[in-house]
Structure 1
Amino acid sequence: MSALRRAAVLGSPIAHSLSPVLHRAAYAELGLRDWTYDRFEVDENALPGFLQTLGPEWAGLSLTMPLKRAVIPLLDEITETAASVDAVNTVVLGQDGRRTGDNTDIPGMVAALREHGIDEVGSAAVLGAGATASSALAALSRVCAGEVAVYVRSAARAAQMRRWAERLDLAVRIADWADAEQALRAPLVIATTPAGVTDALAHAVPERPATLFDVLYDPWPTVLAARWSAYGGAVVSGLDLLVHQAVLQVEQMTGRAPAPLDAMRKAGEQALADR
């Protein structure tokens, strides 16, 4: 009989997370009957204590907000990808107790874009300046040949985005949120804002929009994504991102590759339909 192996997603709030659905679908498809994947409500204050309770049966953790930066001092090492944006969403736990942090959001974004035929763009626009926006900049450093316009709502966030751009060696122009309608003319628009924030921009979608990558997946479609599709533009969804980053997590935690992308996506779509 095989030994039980465990993984989980941590965050606060966590009840909405689709990660258990995606990872369990992967385990079922891969025949990993002795693997379990759970969710735990854990905030920054509880994180150190939670990590101390983990035994050798634990293989890995997925992290969502607000833990992606809080976890870094608690790890033995982090990858260059995670270090590039100071954010870890994946922890691989060695049976010797070693904790390695990675960021699969960045290659997950790149993979989601490539699945939709976007290998390179001449310029791009990012709506928002939070943690997801920094991952978007890192992804764009791999696919955007020219300037990225970032539309922000505060001077502090503007300074933060400039720091990320400098670190990533990416040509970034900071723009005021009041001019965000202009972003919609870019060859690639990445919307990283919370639900509802971009609704007011939907009326400004151009007649022939290019590609919108909206990182939300619930509710879906967003008002902006629905208008974009109606005008014939290509749309990459937050579920695309979630599935692609989870594929990479499954491969790292289980050592099995390739992870079953199609089965994971179908499970995610069904879970969203059931909500």
Structure 2
Amino acid sequence: MADRLAVFGSPIAHSMSPVLHRTAYRLLGLEWEYDSRDVVAADLPGIVNGLDDGWRGLSLTMPLKQAAFELASTHDAMAELTGAVNTLRFVGSGSDRALFGYNTDVAGITRALAAIGVTEAPHVHILGGGATAASAVVAAAELGALSVSILARSPGKSESLVALGRRAGLAVDLARFEDAAGLLEPQLVLSTLPGGSLPAVNYPASVRSGAALLDVAYDPWPSELATRWADAGGPVANGLSMLVQQALVQVRIFAFNDPFQPLEGEEDVLAAMLASVGLDARGLPIA
């Protein structure tokens, strides 16, 4: 019987994860099944504990990442830092089954940026202070940032990200969207705002032409913020590229229980995953 995997979340109908994972498994010659299921946080423990030994792992999207963290018996460094798990790998069987928890969102951000040539950024702006902002803070640290400014409508609700920044080795300050003009100009802007949001900060052309943008939203695309950025000449990465890159790391985990172990023919696998959702090698929409 084929190993079973799925993406859980709510809502889930729009998820591109099944397309990405099935594409990878087909190229790797793996007869694994990957589906999607609408699951809310309160139901996750019961559902996971009820899965039989035919299940290899799960991808978790909103609103399940904190609940998945609580379920995992061990966590990788990125999950420990962020307090969020988006990948569960089942090892063993029956009462001896262990749940390994990983956060591949951080790698998704850094890999998507690397694909457009962005590998470092001393000062970073993060738009939005929700759950994805935690992965964005750690990604900024991975890019060698010295400081991060988090801009939000209600920055007081994001105090936990200041402590996260300290643990990750960088300074984090909080500000309202309207106060952006008084902050250090960024070399990178990470927008974690929902798809369809109007630009929360009116960055001047000097920033939009010189700094990079990653907008984690990808539906609709291009976002208004991404359009303004591209029109000014700045490099832009999108959330669909991030999704593909984090999914590739998930496939490594499902195959080896190791996010750093490359897949056989990984470059071809990644190219096929990108093409399956209409992206080129840089993670940009194919014209």
TM-score, normalising length from structure 2?
0.87
Residue 48 (structure 1) aligned with residue 45 (structure 2): yes
Q: Which runs of 4+ in 1 moved over 4 A?
A: 181-185, 202-205
What is the Cα deviation at residue 79 of structure 1?
1.4
| Letter matched to residue 48 of structure 1 | P
Structure 1 pair 215/153, CA: closer, same or farther in 2 (3 Å)? same
* Matched-pair contact (CA < 8 Å) for 1:165–1:172: yes
Structure 1 pair 182/231, CA: closer, same or farther in 2 (3 Å)? farther
Range 233-242 or range 73-82, more displaced? 73-82
- Please give the secondary structure, in 2, of the residue aligned with 1:62: strand
Structure 1 pair 81/200, CA: closer, same or farther in 2 (3 Å)? closer
Among candidates 20, 31, 51, match of residue 22 of structure 1 = 20
Aligned to 1:244: 245
Aligned to 1:74: 71
Cα distance in 1 for residues equivalent to 2:88 and 2:175: 35
- Please give the secondary structure, in 2, of the residue aligned with 1:269: coil
Residue 138 (structure 1) aligned with residue 138 (structure 2): yes
Structure 1 pair 99/198, CA: closer, same or farther in 2 (3 Å)? same
- Please give the secondary structure, in 1, of the residue aligned with 2:222: coil
What is the Cα deviation at residue 130 of structure 1?
0.6
Among candidates 262, 268, 275, match of residue 266 of structure 1 = 275
Gaps (5+ residues) in structure 2? 257-261, 280-284
Q: What is the alpha-carbon root mean square deviation over aligned residues?
A: 2.1
Range 132-141 or range 151-160, more displaced? 151-160
Aligned to 1:122: 122
| Letter matched to residue 14 of structure 1 | I
Range 50-59 or range 176-185, more displaced? 176-185
* Matched-pair contact (CA < 8 Å) for 2:178–2:201: no
Structure 1 pair 264/160, CA: closer, same or farther in 2 (3 Å)? same
| Letter matched to residue 199 of structure 2 | D
TM-score, normalising length from structure 1?
0.90
What is the Cα deviation at residue 210 of structure 1?
2.0
What is the Cα deviation at residue 155 of structure 1?
4.2
Deviations 1:148-192 (A, max 9, x none): 111122143241221221222211222222124667942111111
Structure 1 pair 6/183, CA: closer, same or farther in 2 (3 Å)? farther
What is the Cα deviation at residue 143 of structure 1?
0.8
Aligned to 1:221: 222
| Letter matched to residue 21 of structure 2 | H
Taking the TM superposition and a 5 Å limit, the aligned residue runs for 1:2-21 are: 3-21=1-19
Size of the aligned set, in residue pairs, is 268
Deviations 1:59-101 (A, max 9, x none): 1100011110012222221112101010000001113321100
* Matched-pair contact (CA < 8 Å) for 2:215–2:238: yes
Range 45-54 or range 19-28, more displaced? 45-54
Among candidates 252, 263, 267, match of residue 257 of structure 1 = 263
What is the Cα deviation at residue 135 of structure 1?
0.3
Cα distance in 2 for residues equivalent to 1:75 and 1:120: 32
Deviations 1:240-259 (A, max 9, x none): 11001000001110237154
| Letter matched to residue 139 of structure 1 | A
Aligned to 1:194: 194
- Identical amino acids, percent of aligned pairs: 41
